[in-house]
Chain A
Amino acid sequence: MEDTQQFDATRLLAARTPVIELRDVRKTYRTGSLAVEALRGVTLTIDQGEYVAVMGPSGSGKSTLMHIIGCLDVATSGLYRLAGEDVGHMDEDELAHVRNRRIGFVFQQFNLLASMTAQRNVELPLLYAGVDRAERRARATAALERVGMGDRLEHRPGELSGGQQQKVAIARALVTDPDLVLADEPTGNLDSLSSADVLAVFDELRRSGRTVVLITHEADVAARAQRLVRMHDGVVAPDEQPSGASPR
């Protein structure tokens, strides 16, 4: 309970502080004697309520950037503040808590657990947050209703189409009411119809003031964002307006 109160307090403070603040972030992977510099000094600030698309060719470092923003990996050097909190020196347990409370993930492969119903899948982050069962059910139902999956609570992932599965995954990302929704190629495995469906959900999130970072290599997906961040060779190119980046 204390945690929740503290969480609310930081949320209020965070209203003014940027959700993401990266300063000269570098990441070097070492495999044996080989060192690969995936990020070569990324500086990026994303404010609350922004809908940002990160684009770049493969090998540009956008996946690495997503891992670091998502607290799934730690930068080799540089500063990363997530909602004002320095996550650079956290241990594994603290990072797990940050991921649980502040970030909602949407993956390309949906990553739903096949043995669980849609509702149980959406409940999962709440389970790790220590929320009791009745509240979990209620919040999971609400989140699924919000993405238009209210009538599929008891369906298992195998019984849902790709687009529906991704919407369940989005519901799972939203259920903890995170500071940031982080989507990694959310339409990468979907046909154009399902893609449009899923992107419509993201549009709705933007309208409701949710901070969304979307990683994609599809220009038409990126075009729907407010802001476009281009990655190239481990650095961020200057911002451009996605509307100016004439969609074909």
Chain B
Amino acid sequence: MNGLETLRTGLEAIRAHRMRSALTVLGILIGIAAVIMTVGLGEGAQAKVSSEISSLGTNLLTVSPGSSTSSSGIRGGFGSATTLTEQDADALASRTVAPAIAAVAPTTQDEEVLTAGTTNWTTTVVGTDADWLSVRARTVVEGRFLDDQDVAGHADVVVLAPTTASELFGFEDPVGQTVNIGGIPMTVIGELNSVGGSGSSSSATSSQDDEAIVPISTAADQIFGGTTRDSVSSILIEATNSSTLTAAYQETDDELLMLHHITTPADADFTIATQQQLLSTATSVDKTLTVLLAGIAAISLLVGGIGVMNIMLVSVTERVREIGLRKALGATPKLIRRQFLVESSILGLSGGLLGAVLGIVGTQVLPSLVNEPMSLSVWATVGAIVIAMAIGLGFGVYPATRAARLAPIDALRSE
């Protein structure tokens, strides 16, 4: 009895119990579709985060106060320390001190309420200088960006990101209008381009389209206030090109250690992060989520597999006479076993294929419904189909072995 005949017999048996087979397949199908969709969701989120982080600017280094405590990027005292100052930024901006550095943008930031007429909007106010635009790889779509005179003269001017502008002014042209920030009336001089951040909470870069940029000097003495007016929340550094990024990193490290009178690098009171590090930190979170979701999906797949086993056991019990007859007619235990294994594999495989179809459709349809990006993972799809068949096969072993072991007379005798 060759493979083709075994396959045919298996298909016949499945066709004889359409409803039951369909329900069994459904169990596998749901598991496989869940695996494909969760992996797609996870990969989509990762792709989104990486594209957003690269949109922050190329060849970018971010210096933050506080020291790194672990390789995974968790920083001790991140943001709370006030060890970085405008003087640090000025020193790094020097071409002689740091030739690999093209631009330096010290930034301070805080949440503030912006008021325009009767409209309120709470957003991130960023105090920085003229270099910020090139460091962050942004452009101005209307008006102009901050210039050096604005910074030097503590000018009461603001550049709005598109979401902020539309929230405050609707469809009106924001340029030339006045916005109150912390009670200080400021003139809107420009509007930034949109970088297409969806504003979802999962992303570290969500605020890119919703922020207000003011001169760092104005921010320090009029908006944020406080005692440490020279301190900055971070210094953004742009290397001259991607090949000098390492050099720029080294120069920043050396210069800041010197300025802060620190002799052992391990005691550094600042942390320099590259885009790569930001990326891996951000994606590692999503990766964890993906693994978690895929784990849940895998459990549902396991449940589907148990469903296959259950139905195959029922099938064996129900077909005891048939098994007995086949044995009487000359089927060896091995052939009976193979027949049942083929049957359960067909159930698994069809569940896998149908589940893949559902998963693929899901990754196309779902993003527009839940407003989350999804990407179709080929390896997850192929892997899921293979796993589905393996589940069918694996969970079929026990029922098939039971069928093969039935004594022919007992099997024939049963009613």
Contacts and interface: CB of A to CB of B under 8 A. Distances in A.
Interface string B239-251: 0000000000000
Contact of B328 (A72, A113, A114): A72
B329 A99 contact: yes
A89 interface: no
Interface string B322-338: 10011111111111000
A207 interface: no
Contacts of B335: 128
Contacts of A97: 330, 332
Interface string A102-129: 0001010001011110000000110111
B1 A130 contact: yes
Nearest to B411: A72
B330 A125 contact: yes
A124 B326 contact: yes
Contacts of B327: 96, 99
A214 B326 CA distance: 21
A100 B327 CA distance: 9
A96 B412 contact: no
Interface residues of A, number: 25
What is the interface of chain A mostly: helix, strand, loop, or mixed? helix
Contact of A127 (B1, B16, B334): B1
Given A115-B13, A116-B12, A128 B330 contact: yes
B15 interface: yes
A23 B408 CA distance: 24
Given A113-B322, A116-B12, A128 B1 contact: yes
Contacts of B1: 127-128, 130
Nearest to B319: A113
Give the interface residue-count category, chain B: 20 to 34
Given A125-B330, A128-B335, 10 more contacts: A72-B409, A73-B409, A92-B333, A93-B333, A93-B334, A96-B327, A99-B330, A111-B321, A116-B12, A128-B331
Interface string B87-124: 00000000000000000000000000000000000000
5 contacts: A92-B332, A92-B333, A93-B332, A99-B330, A128-B331
Contact of B332 (A96, A107, A111, A114): A96
A101 interface: yes
B5 interface: yes
Contacts, number: 61
A67 B331 contact: no
Given A97-B330, A128-B331, A72 B322 contact: no
A114 B13 CA distance: 11
A74 B328 CA distance: 14
- Pairs of residues from A and B, 8 with the lowest C-beta to C-beta distance, nearest first: A100-B330, A128-B330, A96-B332, A115-B16, A125-B329, A111-B325, A72-B408, A93-B332
A107 B321 CA distance: 12
A77 B12 CA distance: 41
Nearest to B9: A127
Contacts of B2: 130
B156 to A, nearest CB: 87
A129 B409 contact: no
Interface in B1-44: 1-2, 5, 12-13, 15-16
Interface string A188-212: 0000000000000000000000000
A124 B329 contact: yes
Contacts of A67: 409
Given A111-B321, A115-B16, A105 B330 contact: no
Contacts of B325: 107, 111, 113
